[in-house]
Amino acid sequence: MRILLVMLAAASLSAQVKYSRESIDVTVAGKPFTTFHYGEESGKPYLSPIRAASGKVVSRLYPMEQIPGESRDHLHHTGLWFSFDDVNGTKLWENDPSYTKPGIGRIVVRSAEWKGEALQAVMEWRDGAGKVLLVENRTMTFPHDAKQRAIDFTIVLTAAKDVTFGDTKEGAFAIRLAEAFTERKGAKMVDADGRVGMAKVWGKRSNWVDYTAEVEGERLGVAMFDHPSNPRHPTYWHARDYGLFALNPFGQNAFDPSQEESHWKLPKGQALTFRWRVVIHPGDAESGHVADLYREYAAK
């Protein structure tokens, strides 16, 4: 077990990148892993598809692709993404370009480039009038071993003007999982505190949450880690039984009515830094040693 953890933490990163006008492909150990999309077809950038080490896809492909048998709800659930639905009242979560609700904004990528072993992107969170609310600097790296894949995110949000993050469940760091990871298909959701199932996990605070499912004959898990250095750690979990897997540090009363409504203010020029890891592992949370992997990540 110790050998596995060291391999994941210290493995030589061999991710590679290929450019096109609106996307960046990432390969790990010579195999396709994911693609960073930032074209005009979406209201925000996203990673899709997300693959396990075996090559099996663990993220839902809709709405980017039409796959028989996949659910076709929530057009704004695009792969793996980060956004929030109340920044000075601007909606940046439910913001598919086809939506006509008032107050919809966009997250626009200004630059994306490969620097050493890291994929770095700079993007603007804009309101409906195109004015910049936040500048996001994102670094993504891809630790891995023969059996696991992971993405480490370091995200710095800098206020371009005084901003307030409202209190809503609609956010924030999220992945829409493949149909196999829904509870109606027999998938299992568990958090770091041993709670099992959406009814017990949703709206609770915890260090991590893990979903496991049978994907084309292989038991696979997807875990999301909240780093202890993050503001408001441990985060709240917006984890649904239909495949939405999200953490949300901004909501408070939305998850726990006993808490005061949150109005998280970020003055112009000040910044928030978040660190998260997504791990795609074989087996379930126990056999995949998710608790051990989290402890090693948290110690970094």
pLDDT tens per residue, range 202-238? 999 999 999 999 999 999 999 999 999 999 999 999 9
CA-derived radius of gyration, the chain:
18
Residue 10 pLDDT level (bands cut at 50, 70, 90): very low
pLDDT given for residue 201 in this prediction = 98
Q: How many domains does the chain have?
A: 1
Cα–Cα dist 37/25, whole Å? 9
Residue 17 pLDDT level (bands cut at 50, 70, 90): very low
Specify whether the CB–CB gap between 68 and 164 falls below 8 A.
no
Residue 84 pLDDT level (bands cut at 50, 70, 90): very high
Residue 252 pLDDT level (bands cut at 50, 70, 90): very high
Predicted confidence (pLDDT) at residue 56 exceeds the cutoff of 80: yes
Cα–Cα dist 48/98, whole Å? 20
Q: What is the largest CA-CA distance in the chain?
A: 53
**How high does pLDDT run on average in the chain?**
92
CATH of the domain at 252: 2.70.98
Q: How far is CA 137 from the centre of its chain?
A: 15
**Hey, is 176 helix, strand or coil?**
strand
Q: Between 211 and 20, whose confidence is greater?
A: 211
Cα–Cα dist 294/224, whole Å? 9
pLDDT given for residue 22 in this prediction = 86
Residue 68 pLDDT level (bands cut at 50, 70, 90): confident
3-state helix/strand/coil string of 59-125: ECCCCCCCCCCCCCCCCCCCCEEEEECCECCEECCCCCCCCCCCCECEEEEEEEEEECCEEEEEEEE
Q: 98 lies in which domain range?
A: 2-298
Predicted confidence (pLDDT) at residue 188 exceeds the cutoff of 50: yes
Predicted confidence (pLDDT) at residue 86 exceeds the cutoff of 70: yes
Predicted confidence (pLDDT) at residue 81 exceeds the cutoff of 90: yes
pLDDT tens per residue, range 152-166? 999 999 999 999 999
pLDDT given for residue 165 in this prediction = 98
Torsion angles phi and psi, residue 296, rounded to 5: -65, -40
pLDDT given for residue 30 in this prediction = 92
pLDDT given for residue 16 in this prediction = 42
Percent above pLDDT 70 for the chain: 93
pLDDT given for residue 181 in this prediction = 97
pLDDT given for residue 92 in this prediction = 97
Q: Which of 74, 73, 298, 268 is nearest to 161 (CA)?
A: 268
Residue 40 pLDDT level (bands cut at 50, 70, 90): confident
Residue 138 pLDDT level (bands cut at 50, 70, 90): very high
Long-range contacts made by residues 111-119, C-beta under 8 angstroms, separation at least 24? 112/24, 112/36, 112/38, 114/17, 114/24, 117/13, 117/15, 117/141, 117/142, 119/15, 119/17, 119/24, 119/26, 119/36
Specify whether the CB–CB gap between 230 and 275 falls below 8 A.
yes
Q: Mean pLDDT check: name the lowest of 2-16, 59-73, 167-181, 247-261.
A: 2-16
Predicted confidence (pLDDT) at residue 300 exceeds the cutoff of 80: yes
Residue 8 pLDDT level (bands cut at 50, 70, 90): very low
Residue 52 pLDDT level (bands cut at 50, 70, 90): very high
**H-helix or E-strand containing 294?**
helix 290-298
pLDDT tens per residue, range 112-125? 999 999 999 999 99
